[in-house]
Amino acid sequence: MGYYKLPEQTQEAFKVDDRGVRWFYTGDIGEMFADGTFKIIDRRKDLLKLQNGEYISLGKIEALMKSCQYVDNICVCGGTYSNELTALVSPNHRNLQKLSQELGLKDAQIGDLCRNVDVCKRVYAAIVQTGQSAGISKKEIPVRIRLVPDEWTPDNDMLTAAMKMKRKNVEKRYQKEIDGLFAANDLLSINNNNNNTIKLDNRV
Protein backbone atom coordinates (compact mmCIF):
# COMPACT_ATOMS: atom_id res chain seq x y z
CA MET A 1 0.00 0.00 0.00
CA GLY A 2 1.24 3.47 -0.83
CA TYR A 3 1.44 6.13 -3.52
CA TYR A 4 1.77 4.73 -7.02
CA LYS A 5 5.36 5.10 -8.27
CA LEU A 6 6.10 7.66 -5.54
CA PRO A 7 8.39 5.83 -3.08
CA GLU A 8 9.53 8.96 -1.22
CA GLN A 9 5.97 10.10 -0.52
CA THR A 10 5.02 6.57 0.47
CA GLN A 11 7.93 6.36 2.93
CA GLU A 12 7.02 9.72 4.41
CA ALA A 13 3.31 8.98 4.80
CA PHE A 14 3.34 5.33 5.86
CA LYS A 15 5.25 4.33 9.00
CA VAL A 16 5.44 1.18 11.11
CA ASP A 17 5.49 1.46 14.91
CA ASP A 18 7.42 -0.78 17.34
CA ARG A 19 4.50 -3.23 17.44
CA GLY A 20 4.63 -3.73 13.70
CA VAL A 21 1.44 -1.77 13.06
CA ARG A 22 1.50 0.33 9.89
CA TRP A 23 0.09 3.84 10.14
CA PHE A 24 -0.91 6.37 7.52
CA TYR A 25 0.18 9.90 8.43
CA THR A 26 -2.42 12.10 6.74
CA GLY A 27 -0.82 15.42 7.72
CA ASP A 28 -4.11 16.67 9.15
CA ILE A 29 -4.34 18.49 12.47
CA GLY A 30 -7.39 17.62 14.54
CA GLU A 31 -9.16 18.89 17.63
CA MET A 32 -10.51 16.32 20.09
CA PHE A 33 -13.67 17.05 22.08
CA ALA A 34 -14.78 15.78 25.48
CA ASP A 35 -17.44 13.52 23.94
CA GLY A 36 -14.78 11.63 21.97
CA THR A 37 -15.49 13.27 18.62
CA PHE A 38 -12.98 15.35 16.73
CA LYS A 39 -12.73 17.59 13.70
CA ILE A 40 -10.00 18.43 11.23
CA ILE A 41 -8.91 22.03 11.73
CA ASP A 42 -5.77 22.41 9.62
CA ARG A 43 -2.99 20.80 7.61
CA ARG A 44 0.44 20.36 9.17
CA LYS A 45 2.21 21.48 6.00
CA ASP A 46 0.24 24.74 6.08
CA LEU A 47 1.52 25.74 9.53
CA LEU A 48 4.38 28.21 9.65
CA LYS A 49 6.52 28.84 12.72
CA LEU A 50 7.60 32.46 12.91
CA GLN A 51 10.92 33.61 14.32
CA ASN A 52 9.24 34.40 17.64
CA GLY A 53 8.01 30.80 17.92
CA GLU A 54 4.39 31.54 17.10
CA TYR A 55 2.55 29.30 14.64
CA ILE A 56 0.53 30.77 11.78
CA SER A 57 -1.94 28.88 9.59
CA LEU A 58 -1.13 29.82 6.01
CA GLY A 59 -4.07 27.82 4.70
CA LYS A 60 -6.53 29.74 6.87
CA ILE A 61 -5.19 33.09 5.70
CA GLU A 62 -5.20 32.03 2.05
CA ALA A 63 -8.79 30.80 2.27
CA LEU A 64 -9.87 34.15 3.70
CA MET A 65 -7.91 36.23 1.20
CA LYS A 66 -9.43 34.37 -1.75
CA SER A 67 -12.68 36.13 -0.91
CA CYS A 68 -11.05 39.41 -2.00
CA GLN A 69 -12.47 40.42 -5.37
CA TYR A 70 -9.04 40.89 -6.92
CA VAL A 71 -7.62 37.55 -5.79
CA ASP A 72 -8.01 34.40 -7.83
CA ASN A 73 -5.32 32.49 -5.95
CA ILE A 74 -2.82 33.46 -3.30
CA CYS A 75 0.24 31.88 -1.73
CA VAL A 76 1.15 33.36 1.65
CA CYS A 77 4.84 33.05 2.45
CA GLY A 78 6.89 33.38 5.61
CA GLY A 79 10.63 33.65 6.04
CA THR A 80 12.60 31.46 8.44
CA TYR A 81 14.16 34.52 10.08
CA SER A 82 11.16 36.82 9.87
CA ASN A 83 7.99 37.53 11.81
CA GLU A 84 6.33 38.98 8.72
CA LEU A 85 4.23 37.39 6.02
CA THR A 86 4.31 38.17 2.32
CA ALA A 87 2.14 36.90 -0.51
CA LEU A 88 2.18 35.98 -4.16
CA VAL A 89 -1.13 36.87 -5.77
CA SER A 90 -2.53 35.40 -8.96
CA PRO A 91 -5.16 38.07 -9.63
CA ASN A 92 -8.70 37.72 -10.89
CA HIS A 93 -8.16 38.88 -14.46
CA ARG A 94 -11.71 40.11 -15.03
CA ASN A 95 -11.82 42.23 -11.89
CA LEU A 96 -8.30 43.51 -12.50
CA GLN A 97 -9.38 44.68 -15.95
CA LYS A 98 -12.36 46.45 -14.38
CA LEU A 99 -10.00 48.14 -11.94
CA SER A 100 -7.79 49.22 -14.82
CA GLN A 101 -10.76 50.99 -16.39
CA GLU A 102 -11.45 52.80 -13.12
CA LEU A 103 -7.82 53.93 -13.06
CA GLY A 104 -7.91 55.05 -16.69
CA LEU A 105 -5.52 52.35 -17.88
CA LYS A 106 -7.13 51.55 -21.20
CA ASP A 107 -6.08 48.49 -23.20
CA ALA A 108 -3.49 47.48 -20.60
CA GLN A 109 -2.48 43.83 -20.61
CA ILE A 110 -2.51 41.71 -17.45
CA GLY A 111 1.26 41.68 -17.25
CA ASP A 112 1.34 45.48 -17.38
CA LEU A 113 -1.37 45.76 -14.73
CA CYS A 114 0.57 43.45 -12.41
CA ARG A 115 3.51 45.86 -12.66
CA ASN A 116 1.45 49.02 -12.23
CA VAL A 117 1.99 50.78 -8.91
CA ASP A 118 -1.56 52.14 -8.61
CA VAL A 119 -3.06 48.76 -9.37
CA CYS A 120 -0.83 47.08 -6.78
CA LYS A 121 -1.78 49.64 -4.15
CA ARG A 122 -5.50 49.10 -4.77
CA VAL A 123 -5.16 45.34 -4.67
CA TYR A 124 -3.07 45.47 -1.51
CA ALA A 125 -5.56 47.79 0.19
CA ALA A 126 -8.37 45.38 -0.69
CA ILE A 127 -6.40 42.45 0.72
CA VAL A 128 -5.76 44.30 3.98
CA GLN A 129 -9.45 45.24 4.20
CA THR A 130 -10.44 41.62 3.60
CA GLY A 131 -8.23 40.47 6.46
CA GLN A 132 -9.45 43.17 8.81
CA SER A 133 -13.10 42.44 8.00
CA ALA A 134 -12.51 38.75 8.71
CA GLY A 135 -11.10 39.64 12.12
CA ILE A 136 -7.66 38.11 11.69
CA SER A 137 -4.74 39.67 13.54
CA LYS A 138 -2.38 42.18 11.96
CA LYS A 139 0.47 39.68 11.99
CA GLU A 140 -1.63 37.40 9.79
CA ILE A 141 -2.00 40.03 7.07
CA PRO A 142 0.85 40.02 4.52
CA VAL A 143 2.99 43.16 4.63
CA ARG A 144 4.14 42.74 1.03
CA ILE A 145 2.48 41.37 -2.07
CA ARG A 146 3.65 40.47 -5.54
CA LEU A 147 1.16 40.21 -8.39
CA VAL A 148 1.98 37.54 -10.94
CA PRO A 149 0.15 37.50 -14.29
CA ASP A 150 -0.06 33.72 -14.57
CA GLU A 151 -3.27 31.89 -13.85
CA TRP A 152 -2.69 28.91 -11.58
CA THR A 153 -4.32 25.78 -12.96
CA PRO A 154 -3.95 21.99 -12.82
CA ASP A 155 -2.53 22.18 -16.35
CA ASN A 156 0.51 24.19 -15.25
CA ASP A 157 0.80 22.10 -12.07
CA MET A 158 0.13 24.98 -9.72
CA LEU A 159 -3.15 23.40 -8.56
CA THR A 160 -4.34 19.88 -7.94
CA ALA A 161 -7.25 18.37 -9.85
CA ALA A 162 -9.38 19.40 -6.86
CA MET A 163 -8.21 23.01 -7.42
CA LYS A 164 -6.07 23.11 -4.29
CA MET A 165 -2.79 24.97 -4.47
CA LYS A 166 0.41 22.94 -4.75
CA ARG A 167 2.46 25.06 -2.37
CA LYS A 168 5.83 23.48 -3.13
CA ASN A 169 5.32 23.88 -6.87
CA VAL A 170 4.31 27.53 -6.51
CA GLU A 171 7.26 28.28 -4.24
CA LYS A 172 9.66 26.57 -6.62
CA ARG A 173 8.25 28.35 -9.68
CA TYR A 174 8.39 31.79 -8.02
CA GLN A 175 11.42 31.40 -5.74
CA LYS A 176 13.08 34.52 -7.14
CA GLU A 177 9.94 36.59 -6.60
CA ILE A 178 9.55 35.26 -3.06
CA ASP A 179 13.16 36.08 -2.22
CA GLY A 180 12.54 39.60 -3.53
CA LEU A 181 9.56 40.03 -1.23
CA PHE A 182 11.74 39.47 1.82
CA ALA A 183 14.50 41.78 0.57
CA ALA A 184 12.70 45.08 1.25
CA ASN A 185 13.15 46.47 4.75
CA ASP A 186 11.41 49.84 4.87
CA LEU A 187 7.82 50.29 5.96
CA LEU A 188 6.53 52.02 2.86
CA SER A 189 8.27 51.22 -0.37
CA ILE A 190 7.89 50.25 -3.96
CA ASN A 191 10.77 48.19 -5.24
CA ASN A 192 12.54 50.36 -7.81
CA ASN A 193 13.64 47.37 -9.86
CA ASN A 194 10.31 45.54 -9.77
CA ASN A 195 7.63 48.12 -9.18
CA ASN A 196 4.96 45.49 -8.71
CA THR A 197 6.54 44.50 -5.41
CA ILE A 198 4.92 46.61 -2.75
CA LYS A 199 5.09 46.87 1.00
CA LEU A 200 2.77 49.03 3.04
CA ASP A 201 2.82 49.36 6.78
CA ASN A 202 -0.30 47.60 8.07
CA ARG A 203 0.97 47.45 11.64
CA VAL A 204 0.18 51.03 12.63
Q: In this predicted model, what pLDDT tens digit does every residue of 167-192 receive, in sequence order?
A: 999 999 999 999 888 776 443 333 33
As assigned by CATH, the class of the 47-199 domain is: alpha beta
Buried b / exposed e over 101-136, threshold 16 CB at 10 Å, is eeeebeebebeebbbbeebbebbbebbbebbeebeb
Q: In this predicted model, what pLDDT tens digit does every residue of 96-147 receive, in sequence order?
A: 999 999 999 988 999 999 999 999 999 999 999 999 999 999 989 999 999 9
Q: Which amino acid is at 165?
A: M
**What own/partner pairs with CB < 8 Å and gap ≥ 24 does 25-34 have?**
none
Query: Are 199 and 143 a contacting pair, CB within 8 Å?
Result: yes
The structure's pTM equals 0.74
Radius of gyration of the chain (CA): 19
Q: What is the domain partition of the chain in residue ranges?
A: 47-199
Q: In this predicted model, what pLDDT tens digit does every residue of 47-80 receive, in sequence order?
A: 677 777 778 889 989 999 999 999 999 999 987 6
**Cα–Cα distance, 64 to 132 (Å, whole number):** 10
